[in-house]
Amino acid sequence: MPEEAEKTYTRADEAFDCIQTSIVKGELAPGEKIGELELCTRFNLTRGPLREALGRLESRGLLVRRPHAGVKVVSVSASELVELYRIREVMEGLAARQAAERMTDSEIADLQATLDAHEQMIDEAQGQAYYQAEGDYDFHHRIATGSRNTKLAQMLLGDLYYMVRMYRYRLSTSAGRPHRALGEHRRIVEAIAQRDGELAEFLMKRHINAARRNIEKQIQDGVLTI
Amino acid sequence: MPEEAEKTYTRADEAFDCIQTSIVKGELAPGEKIGELELCTRFNLTRGPLREALGRLESRGLLVRRPHAGVKVVSVSASELVELYRIREVMEGLAARQAAERMTDSEIADLQATLDAHEQMIDEAQGQAYYQAEGDYDFHHRIATGSRNTKLAQMLLGDLYYMVRMYRYRLSTSAGRPHRALGEHRRIVEAIAQRDGELAEFLMKRHINAARRNIEKQIQDGVLTI
DNA sequence: ACGTTTTGGATTGTTGACAATATAAGGCTT
DNA sequence: AAGCCTTATATTGTCAACAATCCAAAACGT
């Protein structure tokens, strides 16, 4: 047999995943105060593992906790969301540069293939923001892991993306943006394929910059109220 | 009365702080396997709060945990340490730029004052690496918080610095480096005082780059074996 | 009627006992 | 003698009861 990376899952892991996805999907709204007992009944577990999971979620910044007072889902202000994109800009810029230096040829080929798939998704699911977002997430995910920088990938995938995705669900991507974003993705992968790390970094930073400006515009227009 | 931000500390918070500092100070060596009972007796607490603290520490990447097998302190390889500095380069570059835009005049004055204090420390405690490291930490800490970017500060202060400090204790700063580092700090603060964000970013990136090269040299020379 | 204090309820923090699992030692087979 | 399997121990994961704390509603005084 090739490889059995089967990790035994504990109840706390389970709780962590469940609550995290619930927050990201918006089933637990930002700012909402949640009781431990309520969570226990909802996810079928006892308070021991739950509290361990809450500790992890707090440390990741998805929850805020006041002793004896309870837990509530973190609510990110509009300005804080913009700040998140400023961080993404520099970190993913680095990830793109290191990915250009370190991704294998087959990984790059895979990446190009997924871009084709994304294009189809955009054409088919015309305006289905959800699938566009998933495709975008997939792209950035691959670059992060492709950087071969363990901590960088961990910070991007484990911290930033979850917070960004919390708001992806309510962000209306403006009309032409998906196609333009795909084009930007293509150029980034081209730079990576040519092993031009400097260019990949530049293009990735500009790509996220554009996304940030798009959000700032929505905030100004009052479309996005947080 | 002005403001009472007195937070009630729970046993789990206590455990978290204790274990974290123990790891950073090297009292718990990297790679060391530690039992829960041992930790309980050492820090005088029971397993409930302890496990919550362990969850937080794992999520921050200071521990690795295998179900039913135990916890062990994370051990960062030499190459991973270098990668950490690559992340610091871009993130602290951003922090410096935003600090230049957002720090108050009095904060900047304070920062300049601390640099004077650092200079004295370096002169007095000739070669006392510990105090140099603390001064250096203080400088970077102030810039991170001065950026007014909550998440950025959280990631730098809560994640990266602890991992870097784990190794600061065993890194021998090369002969002339403290003075040169102080000079670099001075120029960064100058740029911030002039509200030149672009320059501050550039200088900060170069500063951390130099620190990284210093470490790489130590690794090559075999001084630092991880 | 409004603000302050007090008390009750509910929720969180903590504890110790119980169940499940991995590591390690010992015996068996080849 | 070496390798595999079995078993025993110790450690971790889980649970349910107890204690401490905060929040809100009611009672009191002004």
- Concatenate the DSSP letters of all residues of B128-196 into one string: -HHHHHHHHHHHHHHHHHHTT-HHHHHHIIIIIHHHHHHHHTT----TTHHHHHHHHHHHHHHHHHTT-
For residue B104, is pLDDT > 90?
A: yes
Residue type for position B121: M
Cβ distance of A93 and B90 shorter than 8 Å = yes
- Interface size A-B, in CB pairs within 8 Å, comes to 95
Report chain A residues whose CB lies below 8 A from the CB of B9: 67
Rounded to an integer, the average pLDDT of B65-71 is: 92
Two structure tokens written together for B133: 């490291």
pLDDT for A5? 44
Q: How far apart are CA B75 and CA B81, in angstroms?
A: 10
Q: What is the pLDDT of residues B186-210, one digit of tens each?
A: 999 999 999 999 999 999 999 999 9
Of B173 and B94, the one with more pLDDT: B94
Two structure tokens written together for A65: 């906790």
**Which of A46, A56, A77 best tests the B interface by mutation, with the highest count of B CBs <10 A?**
A56
Contact A59, A113 (CB under 8 A): no
Residue B213 three-state SS? helix
Report chain B residues whose CB lies below 8 A from the CB of A14: none
Rounded to an integer, the average pLDDT of B33-61 is: 93
For residue B221, is pLDDT > 50?
A: yes
Other beta carbons less than 10 A from residue A116's beta carbon: 11
Contacts of A140 (CB under 8 A, 6+ apart): A92, A156, A161
Contacts 24+ apart (CB under 8 A), A186-189: A186/A115, A188/A96, A188/A143, A189/A108, A189/A111, A189/A112, A189/A115
Of B178 and B105, the one with more pLDDT: B105
Residue type for position A82: V
A91 CA: distance to closest CA in chain B (Å) = 7
Q: What is the pLDDT of residues A34-45, one digit of tens each?
A: 999 999 999 999
Contact B179, B135 (CB under 8 A): no
For residue B5, is pLDDT > 50?
A: no
Q: How far apart are CA B100 and CA B77, in angstroms?
A: 34
B46-55, B66-75, B161-170: which has the minimum mean pLDDT? Answer: B161-170
**Phi/psi at B64 (nearest 5 deg)?**
-120, 145
Q: Provide the CA B165 distance to its chain's centre, in angstroms.
A: 5
Residue type for position A65: R
ipTM of the complex: 0.90
In this structure, is the dihedral angle defined by the CA atoms of residues A44, A49, A52 and A53, taken in order, positive or negative? negative
Q: Residues of B157-186 as b/e, b for ≥16 C-beta within 10 angstroms?
A: ebbbbbbbbbbbeebebeeeebeebbebbb
Contact B115, B123 (CB under 8 A): no
Rounded to an integer, the average pLDDT of B15-25 is: 93
Q: What is the pLDDT of residues A91-150, one digit of tens each?
A: 999 999 999 999 999 999 999 999 998 888 877 766 566 677 788 899 999 999 999 999
Cβ distance of B55 and A60 shorter than 8 Å = no
pLDDT for B190? 98
pLDDT for A2? 37
Q: How far apart are CA B128 and CA A179, in angstroms?
A: 57
Residue A189 three-state SS? helix
State the burial class of residue B33 (Cβ atoms within 10 Å of its Cβ: 0-12, 13-18, 19+): exposed
List, as ranges, residues 77-96 from B with C-beta within 8 Å of A.
Answer: 80, 83-84, 86-87, 89-91, 93-94
pLDDT for A6? 54
Instruction: Identify which of A8-22, A78-92, B119-133 has the greatest average pLDDT.
Output: A78-92
Instruction: Tell me which residues have their CB below 7 A from strand D.
Output: A 10-12, 45-49, 66-69; B 8, 34-37, 47-48, 51, 65, 67-71
A9 CA: distance to closest CA in chain B (Å) = 8
Q: Provide the CA A73 distance to its chain's centre, in angstroms.
A: 17
Two structure tokens written together for A130: 């959800």
Q: How far apart are CA A179 and CA A15, in angstroms?
A: 37
The percentage of residues in chain A with a pLDDT greater than 90, rounded to a whole number, is 68
Q: How far apart are CA A105 and CA A102, in angstroms?
A: 9
Contact A92, A143 (CB under 8 A): yes
In this structure, is the dihedral angle defined by the CA atoms of residues A81, A87, A88 and A89, taken in order, positive or negative? positive
**Phi/psi at B105 (nearest 5 deg)?**
-60, -40
Residue whose entry in the numeric block shows the structure tokens 């484990």: A158
Q: DSSP state, B5?
A: -
